A and B are shown apart, each in its own frame.
Chain A
Amino acid sequence: MNIDTILGDLTGRFGSKILNVNRRSSKRAYIDIYPKDIEEIVRYVFKERGFRFDTASAVDDFDALEILYHFSYDASGITISFRALLKDKQDPHIDTITGITRSAWWIEREMHELFGIEFNGNNDLRPLLLPDDWPKGVYPLRKDFIPPKRDSRKA
């Protein structure tokens, strides 16, 4: 399968659920989708198409948060990233994909603590990297985060 058959298959199957396809090269493509369809699309590419879940990366775009779900199709060396835009920065939420693959277990915990994204249906969103006493509502990888100044008197 080359990238065009894969993209054709996805657009044919999901139609209007796919907002935009950015075919960067014969190895890379970025596909914009609605956050509400993430579960359905991931289930298809992971379970039926046999893509491997690379990781997900959240980005703070100032106006909104976006999550990129990176999937690799190793048989053809293709990596496709699905972009879901979470417009409400006050209450960003998206469905979990941990029901489809346990490989998303840690990355959802990580995005939850570093970006404050809620994953509906994931009941294991304990902190992964940050300390247990990290203040609530402070998300260090958001652009408005200012690292606290160190008080050397308390060192």
Chain B
Amino acid sequence: MSHKAHIPIGPYHPLQEEPEFYKLVVEGEKVVDVDVRIGYNHRGIEKISESKSYDQSIFIVERICGICSSSHPIACAQAVEDISGIEVPERALYIRSICQELERIHSHLLWLGLAAHFIGYNTVFMWAWKYREPICDIFETVTGNRQNYAMHKVGGVRRDIEKEHIPYILNRLNDFTKQLNMLKGAVLDDPVLHERLKGVGILTKEDAIDYAALGPTARASGVDIDARRDHPYAVYDRVKWNVVTRGEGDVFAKTVVRILEMFESVSIIRQCLDKMPEGPIDSKPKDIPPGEGIGQIEAPRGECFHYIKSDGTNSPVRHKIRAPTYMNFPTFRETVIGETVSDATIILAAIDPCYCCTERMLIVGPDNKTAMDMNDLVRLSQEKTQRIKDRYNNRILGA
């Protein structure tokens, strides 16, 4: 009998809404090969979009992901605007940037919470999700919705930010900055987390470039790219902010990048609220001429790319959507292989795919009998953290 065991992960679990299927091949504790099967959640949105008007396309792409419900609509709107050079009013551009950064904060907090849970830091998990609530409240105040904001359209935005809401937003952001500082301390000053996450799941710079990785995944590996700076859109060229990069490429570096990015986001929102000029928010474009256009924006996970081809009618001939995880996902081949099963969960989670993916793990031994499920894998991961914690406590007590 072979010493290799196959670990199918997924595709379905009653608790989760998004199916994906991983197959890990393990030798003892060590992962020697990985494959992934996606598509269980394929809804044919590119095809559906061909039968919709441009306004409806934006409605459809907003529903690609419950977290990126600002990124896809902006990318789609920019692709249509690129076809005929539609000018977007200044105030609308500011509102787009504000929505984008609020989205980045809530998405990174969501990730931080889940990642913390996977390695047994449930306090950080509770904090991160608790502090995410005020951000969703801001969204509710500004757009009327906590998710699926229905804020964006071709040529502008649908709703204005009211003057009386600005003090409320600023207050919330002030509170949030304090909480974020606490979270930063809880994560970056914890020696156990350093030991648990450093050197785990390293993506080298060469591999990141070859796989064309994006967003925090690439930036943690020393690839200095950010569509907000490189392909300026909205008002990112009119506010001061920094692109956060790290060179190590491990899970810890990805965490650091995301945490520090939230500070930049808060700063961008403050500057936008301060500088936002009065004026119209919608240029109300009429006809879309034949042609083709590209929209590139920086979603929380990396660059989101929309290509739209128009034949002059009211709906696209072709609408290609490339979400950042599409490019980041294949890097798991480089990062997971050679690591232990107890680290697989956190490495797969570190690129920030939809979490549910990693929540459906099942280990099957060579005899095809279930040996482990997702709970066991999370437990393995949490136990590893506990061992490191114990070691630290003993060292302190022994000293």
On whether the two chains bind one another, the answer is: yes
Chain A residues with CB under 8 Å of chain B are: 25, 27-28, 30, 52-55, 57, 59-60, 68, 70, 72, 74-75, 77, 79, 81, 101-103, 105-107, 127-131, 140-141
Instruction: Report yes or no: A74 in contact with B39, Cβ–Cβ below 8 A.
Output: no
- Which of B47, B85, B318 contacts A57 (CB under 8 A)? B318
* Interfacial residues of chain B within 313-355, with CB under 8 A of chain A in the complex: 317-318, 320, 322, 326-327, 329-330
CB of A77, distance to nearest CB on chain B (Å): 5
A25 to B307, CA, bound (A): 16
Instruction: Report yes or no: B231 in contact with A77, Cβ–Cβ below 8 A.
Output: yes
Residue of B whose beta carbon sits closest to that of A104: B212
Residue of A whose beta carbon sits closest to that of B307: A57
Instruction: Report yes or no: A54 in contact with B322, Cβ–Cβ below 8 A.
Output: yes
Instruction: Report yes or no: A102 in contact with B210, Cβ–Cβ below 8 A.
Output: yes
On chain B, the residues within 8 Å of A28 by CB distance are: 82, 294
Instruction: Report yes or no: A106 in contact with B305, Cβ–Cβ below 8 A.
Output: no
Please name the 5 residue pairs, one residue from A and one from B, whose CB atoms are nearest each other, closest first. A103-B212, A57-B320, A129-B39, A55-B322, A74-B230
A55 to B296, CA, bound (A): 12
Question: Given A54-B305, A57-B318, A30 and B292 touching (CB < 8 A)?
Answer: yes
| Per-position binary interface string of chain B over residues 104-131, scored 1 when its CB falls under 8 Å from any chain A CB and 0 otherwise | 0000000000000000000000000000
A102 to B221, CA, bound (A): 17
On chain A, the residues within 8 Å of B317 by CB distance are: 59
Residue of A whose beta carbon sits closest to that of B82: A28
Besides the known contacts A70-B294, A70-B307, 16 further A-B residue pairs in the complex with CB atoms under 8 A apart: A27-B231, A30-B292, A52-B209, A54-B303, A54-B305, A72-B296, A74-B225, A79-B231, A81-B307, A101-B211, A102-B210, A105-B330, A106-B329, A107-B322, A131-B39, A140-B47
Chain B residues with CB under 8 Å of chain A are: 38-39, 42, 44, 46-47, 82, 85, 209-212, 225, 230-232, 292, 294, 296, 303, 305, 307, 309, 317-318, 320, 322, 326-327, 329-330
Instruction: Report yes or no: B318 in contact with A59, Cβ–Cβ below 8 A.
Output: yes
CB of A27, distance to nearest CB on chain B (Å): 7
Question: Given A28-B294, A75-B230, A79-B231, A70 and B305 touching (CB < 8 A)?
Answer: yes
On chain A, the residues within 8 Å of B326 by CB distance are: 55, 106-107
Instruction: Report yes or no: B305 in contact with A55, Cβ–Cβ below 8 A.
Output: yes
On chain B, the residues within 8 Å of A130 by CB distance are: 39, 42
Would you list 30 pairs from A and B whose C-beta atoms are within 8 A, ordered by A residue? A28-B82, A28-B294, A30-B292, A52-B209, A54-B212, A54-B305, A55-B305, A55-B307, A55-B320, A55-B322, A57-B307, A68-B307, A70-B294, A72-B230, A72-B296, A74-B231, A75-B230, A77-B230, A77-B232, A79-B231, A102-B210, A103-B211, A103-B212, A103-B327, A106-B326, A107-B322, A128-B39, A129-B38, A129-B39, A140-B47
A27 to B24, CA, bound (A): 42
A131 to B39, CA, bound (A): 7
Instruction: Report yes or no: B42 in contact with A129, Cβ–Cβ below 8 A.
Output: yes
Residue of B whose beta carbon sits closest to that of A145: B47
Instruction: Report yes or no: B225 in contact with A59, Cβ–Cβ below 8 A.
Output: no
On chain B, the residues within 8 Å of A25 by CB distance are: 85
Residue of A whose beta carbon sits closest to that of B43: A129
Residue of B whose beta carbon sits closest to that of A76: B230
On chain B, the residues within 8 Å of A53 by CB distance are: 212
A101 to B206, CA, bound (A): 11
A68 to B320, CA, bound (A): 11
- Which of B46, B303, B327 contacts A141 (CB under 8 A)? B46
Residue of A whose beta carbon sits closest to that of B85: A25
On chain A, the residues within 8 Å of B322 by CB distance are: 54-55, 107
